[in-house]
Structures are given as structure tokens and as C-alpha cells.
Chains A and B, each alone.
Chain A
Amino acid sequence: MAERQSPLEPEFHVGSHGNFEHGVEILLTETRPGSIVQLAAWPGEEKKLMEAIRGVTGLALPDGAGGGLSDGVKSVFGFAPGKFTVTDEAEGLAAALAKAVTPAIGTVTDLSHGRTAIRIAGPKAEWVLSKFFAIDFALPAFPVGAGRSTAHHDVFAQIQRTGADQFDIHVFRSFARSFWKALCHASEEVGYEVQ
């Protein structure tokens, strides 16, 4: 496979930035998953699709809107009715899912090159994201593993909570650099580190 270049590169400055004299409260990274795949079930086929995802990834999706989970390598979450985003550190997930998801069940769309995954972690992650998105980031309303679809200034974002104070944000690759810059600016006042 060709080596994938990061759209963040010109603005990706490893190190501590902003007001970090009193400690770094935000950690920003690009997770660079090898595979980002979206799956959609035809009406009534949702359960079969969830079963196919379990067969390929070993991840058993919970019932409920926006439900999801992650094992640290592979992640899955619902982002719309009957639609799911699956990521894997390794490449080739779309081909494996295409074998399991027959045309009668639904569709498989490989977005590995179309999305950029940005991870924001730290005690102030909820606080920084609340400046961007008008959704409830509190743990009871947004449990670990769950996904949310929302937008920041018309930049669509799919957010999965992968830890109590950790979120993975999937944005369009073409918007990723400007979104990243905005995220860095928003993190300045609490001090952030890029890794």
C-alpha cells in the first residue's frame, strides 16, 4: 500500500503549547487508523449487519442509538439509524467486511482515505469540545464507546468517546487541517501537548 500522508502535517507541531506553565490538560494526537469504513443496513437488516460486524471485528455492538465500543485496536459506533462507522489500526478492513456484508444486508463504504481521526484526551477534553459542539459531553449522557454525529460550522464530525476523558473525532480529510488548527487554538488556554 502507498504510504498515507497526513493532511495535518504542516500544522502538526509535536510538543507543549499554549498556557502549559501550570500543567498540560489536553493531549492532541492523530490516531491514523489503517481502515475507516462506514456500513449501512437496508431497512430491517440492522441486526444482521451488527452480526456481520461482530463476525469480522469481534466487537458486539450494544443496542441503542449511538451505541458503540472499542477494544483499543478496532472500534465501532452507530452514527445514524442503521449506520455504523468501524475503524481498525490495520488496513484491509473494508475488504473483510465486504465479504461478510452481502448486498442483501447493506452497503460498505471505504473511507480510510476520506476521513482524518483526531484524538483529544485529558481532564479538559470535555471542556474544550463543549466550545465546539452543542451536545452534552457529560459521561452519563455520552458513555464510553458511544458515538455522536454533529457539526462544527458545517464541518461534519463523528465523535466516539474512547475513554472517560478521551474522544476520537472523525472529520473530512479536506477540512481536517483547519479543524485541527481550531482545536489547537481552543486548547491554548488550558495548555496542550501534541504527540
Chain B
Amino acid sequence: MLITCPYCGPRDVIEFTYQGDGNRERPEPASQNFEAWNAYVYDRLNPAGDHNEIWQHSGGCRAHLRVMRNTLTHEISSVAFVRGDHASPARGRAEDKP
């Protein structure tokens, strides 16, 4: 499986670390809402199809990535920096530019 890192380009999955489901919403640290904490820790969609995931390019640029991976085919339909614009070099990959 190849993941195309927005900074490094296509790399083997061995360079990446899975950081879990990308749909979790962490409650405020001081929250006493046990339902919300329970949902954060345990509730997963477990879809057969496109799945929103967090990966880290731990063996490369170490950026955290939001990856849409199909759990049936391993096809990856999108990869983006988790931090959005300000973590991405306003520049992009040199060779991808026209």
C-alpha cells in the first residue's frame, strides 16, 4: 500500500504509523460528560468502505495526515495535513508544479 504524503510524495506504508479513527471528537479535558468520553474512547463506525483515518509519516517528515482509505480495497482517495493550511508549506511538492 502506498500513501502519497503531501510533503514527501508516494511512500510505502511501512514508513507510516496509524494514529486511529479520524472521526473521534475529544471532549474538553475538564469535561465531566462521561457519555462523551465513552464515545471518544469506544465508539467507532467501523465502515466497510471509505474510512477517515489519522496517520503519521513517522519514518519520513513526521507530519500527521488525514487519510481517506477504503477498508475493502485499501484504495486511498485523499491525503491532507491534519493541521490544514498552516502546516502545509504554501509551496507543495516542487515536481508537481507545472
Using a CB–CB cutoff of 8 Å, the interface residues on chain A facing chain B are 43-44, 46, 62-67, 78-83, 134-136, 140-141, 143, 146, 148-151, 154, 156
Contact = CB atoms under 8 A, between A and B. Distances in A.
B7 A66 contact: yes
9 contacts: A65-B7, A80-B60, A81-B63, A83-B61, A135-B11, A143-B95, A146-B94, A150-B60, A156-B59
Chain A residues touching B, majority SS: loop
A-B pairs, 6 with minimum CB distance: A64-B94, A80-B61, A151-B59, A43-B86, A63-B91, A149-B60
A150 B15 contact: yes
A81 B95 contact: no
B10 to A, nearest CB: 9
Chain B residues touching A, majority SS: loop
Interface string B55-98: 00001111100000000000000000101001111111111010
Interface in B2-56: 6-9, 11-12, 14-15
Given A141-B95, A150-B59, 12 more contacts: A46-B90, A80-B60, A81-B89, A134-B11, A134-B15, A143-B94, A148-B8, A149-B8, A149-B60, A149-B61, A154-B59, A156-B59
Interface residues of B, number: 26
Contacts of A149: 8, 59-62
Contacts of A82: 87, 89
Contact of A80 (B15, B63, B92, B95): B63
B81 to A, nearest CB: 7
Contacts of B89: 46, 63-65, 78, 81-82
A135 B86 CA distance: 26
Contacts of A151: 15, 59-60
Contacts of B8: 65-66, 148-150
A63 B91 CA distance: 6
B5 to A, nearest CB: 9
A64 B8 CA distance: 11
Nearest to A61: B91
